[in-house]
């Protein structure tokens, strides 16, 4: 239908009369830049007058312009699609909320909060003050007692501050949720005590070289214990005053978020975990993936809300109350393109402590950067394992293993530095790896399999790998029919089998 006789006039005069169209100005959330490109400048007064047609008999003029989605278009703004993503996500999950309420009713119970206040755990938390005051007492011995003995006393005290609560939680089998909180506080106490005497040592050496003496004051130690940092310093940047209204608002947010976390965990994660335990034993690959994906979304919500409430709200509240000035508790780990960047930036208090007391001393002794980094990562993995394993009575090194699996991933993602692919891989490893670990802990906790690794575990892994292999081998249909979905009620499974049968025939 090509009409060859028409002239080629690329560069046709552009949109002379486009001002006649109803004015669209600033009705889009696009950048000003794009709007300028799409719309020629128009004088408002001209639009009021009667408009005549152009030489082609049209009010509107044609112009050579590319489509907006085309790569030839110079400036695209897709801001509106971010809102679409949020709405789609909310719609998908609002549906799940309604389904969940129909299926389970309300599972939440405000009395569950008493789990956290069990007297054994509370006593253990308060006992941590003993080690802190001991550290101050041991520090006071300087000048009276031989220095290496003081060092031994300090390390004994510090290690006891973590090991004693750890052993007590294991021995008395206290409530797991409270137990984890106690162990986090115990780890904090351990790190603060170690930092306290190591920095004091440095300052004493420095003071001695200038023929002065250094003695830490008790109020310095107490301020350090209260302040949101793990690295001791005799002085910190401070703010001028406490904004009490600000503190109150942050506390309300904190309480609200934790109420939300509890609801999500009780209503969505726990039933999801229970439903996935059966396919996990049967090793039916697709049902495990489906269950994992069902847990992954609320699990991520808990994780991100937990991060915000602890690393933003809790630490900022502490900082405001202690007028602590340095509030860089995390960097923009959500933009990570390598797993290494994530692990260095999501928890700056611990990372700074590691750099201060492990990484820097090691590199100053001639260690290279890379092994020193891996070394602090291993220490971090050990602490994760210790904090999680004891309250849940699980000795299969799942947390440790999960973190150590990250080491090769950290190396692999190094080549993706700065790319969106790197960011997506980082998120996938976090968002799928974490619910998998949670699922494995839930399985062992529910079945009382405390470890070490048993035959049942090996069989489950074998079944899963087998299912995965079958799936990879394109025998999806065979896999679906040989592994019966176990949670189906009897009446529907007849229909179900019929459908699968049809599906099976279709595939062959």
Rule CB under 8 A: which of 350-379 touch a second copy?
352, 355-356, 359-360, 363-364, 369, 373
What spatial distance separates the first Cα and last Cα of the chain, rounded to whole Å? 46
Task: For the segment 457-496, give every residue that binds a second copy (CB under 8 A).
Answer: 480, 485, 489-492, 496
Does residue 384 carry a catalytic annotation?
Answer: yes
Assess 300 for contact with a second copy (CB under 8 A). yes
- Going by C-alpha positions, the residue among 369, 372, 271, 251 that lies closest to residue 312 is 251
Assess 346 for contact with a second copy (CB under 8 A). no
Residues 6+ apart with CB under 8 A from 176: 391, 392, 445
Task: For the segment 428-457, give every residue that binds a second copy (CB under 8 A).
Answer: 428, 431
Work out which of 16, 83, 462, 473 binds a second copy, going by CB under 8 A. Answer: 83
Assess 297 for contact with a second copy (CB under 8 A). yes
Question: In the bound complex, what is the minimum distance in angstroms from residue 55's beta carbon to a second copy?
Answer: 8
| Candidates 15-23, 180-188, 447-455, 458-466; binding stretch for a second copy (CB under 8 A) | 15-23
Chain center to CA of 398: 18
Question: In the bound complex, what is the minimum distance in angstroms from residue 136's beta carbon to a second copy?
Answer: 14
Q: Which of 37, 142, 312, 384 is catalytic?
A: 384
**Under a CB-based contact definition with an 8 Å cutoff, are residues 369 and 344 in contact?**
no
CA pseudo-torsion sign 77, 80, 83, 85: negative
Angle at 393 between CA 391 and CA 394, to 5 degrees: 115
Q: Quickly count: other Cβ atoms within 10 Å of residue 278's Cβ.
A: 15
Task: For the segment 376-435, give every residue that binds a second copy (CB under 8 A).
Answer: 417-420, 422-424, 427-428, 431
Q: Quickly count: other Cβ atoms within 10 Å of residue 243's Cβ.
A: 12
Assess 329 for contact with a second copy (CB under 8 A). yes
Work out which of 43, 74, 105, 448 binds a second copy, going by CB under 8 A. Answer: 105
- Going by C-alpha positions, the residue among 241, 248, 232 that lies closest to residue 317 is 248
Residues touching a second copy, count (CB under 8 A): 154
Assess 200 for contact with a second copy (CB under 8 A). yes
Residues 6+ apart with CB under 8 A from 56: 62
- Going by C-alpha positions, the residue among 341, 379, 345, 342 that lies closest to residue 359 is 379
Work out which of 46, 116, 226, 379 binds a second copy, going by CB under 8 A. Answer: 226
Assess 111 for contact with a second copy (CB under 8 A). no
Binding mask 39-68 vs a second copy (x if CB under 8 A, - otherwise)? -----------xx-x-xxxxxx-xxxxxxx
């Amino acid at each position: 239908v090509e009409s060859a006789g028409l002239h080629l006039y690329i560069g046709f005069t552009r949109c002379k009369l486009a001002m006649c169209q109803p004015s669209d100005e600033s009705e889009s959330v696009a950048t000003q830049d794009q709007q300028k490109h799409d719309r020629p400048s128009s004088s408002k007064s001209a639009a009021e007058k009667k408009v005549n047609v152009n030489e082609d008999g049209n009010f509107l003029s044609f112009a050579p312009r590319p489509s907006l989605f085309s790569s030839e278009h110079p400036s695209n703004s897709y801001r509106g699609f971010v809102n679409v993503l949020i709405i789609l996500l909310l719609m998908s999950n609002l549906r799940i909320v309604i389904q969940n309420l129909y299926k389970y009713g309300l599972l939440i119970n405000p009395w569950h909060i008493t789990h956290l206040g069990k007297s054994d755990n509370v006593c253990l938390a308060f006992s941590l003050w003993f080690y802190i005051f001991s550290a101050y007492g041991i520090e006071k011995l300087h000048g009276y007692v031989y220095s290496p003995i003081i060092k031994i006393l300090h390390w004994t005290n510090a290690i006891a501050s973590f090991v004693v609560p750890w052993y007590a939680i294991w021995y008395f089998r206290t409530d797991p949720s409270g137990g984890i909180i106690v162990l986090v506080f115990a780890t904090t106490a351990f790190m603060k005590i170690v930092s306290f005497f190591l920095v004091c040592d440095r300052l004493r050496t420095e003071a001695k070289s200038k023929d002065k003496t250094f003695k830490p004051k008790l109020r310095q130690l107490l301020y350090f214990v209260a302040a949101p940092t793990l690295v001791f310093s005799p002085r910190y940047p401070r703010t001028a005053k406490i904004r009490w209204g600000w503190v109150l608002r942050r506390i309300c947010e904190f309480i609200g978020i934790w109420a939300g976390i509890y609801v999500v965990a009780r209503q969505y994660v726990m039933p999801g975990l229970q439903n996935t335990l059966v396919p996990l034993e049967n090793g039916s690959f697709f049902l495990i993936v489906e269950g994992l994906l069902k847990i992954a979304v609320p699990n991520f919500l808990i994780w991100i809300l937990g991060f915000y409430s602890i690393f933003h709200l809790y630490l900022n509240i502490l900082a405001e109350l202690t007028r602590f000035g340095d509030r860089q508790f995390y960097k923009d780990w959500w933009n990570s393109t390598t797993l290494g960047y994530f692990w260095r930036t999501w928890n700056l208090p611990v990372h700074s402590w590691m750099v201060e007391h492990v990484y820097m001393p090691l590199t100053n002794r001639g260690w290279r950067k890379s092994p020193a980094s891996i070394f602090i990562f291993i220490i971090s993995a050990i602490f994760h394992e210790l904090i999680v394993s004891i309250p849940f009575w699980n000795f299969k090194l799942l947390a440790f293993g999960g973190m150590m699996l990250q080491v090769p991933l950290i190396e692999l993602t190094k080549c993706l530095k700065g790319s969106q692919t790197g960011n997506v891989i980082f998120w996938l490893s976090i968002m799928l790896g974490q619910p998998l670990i949670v699922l494995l802990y839930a399985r062992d906790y529910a079945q009382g399999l405390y470890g070490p690794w048993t035959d049942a575990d090996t069989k489950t892994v074998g079944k899963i790998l087998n299912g995965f292999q079958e799936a990879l081998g394109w025998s999806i249909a065979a896999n679906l029919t040989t592994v019966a979905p176990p949670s189906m009620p009897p009446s529907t499974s007849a229909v179900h089998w019929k459908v699968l049968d049809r599906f099976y025939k279709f595939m062959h």
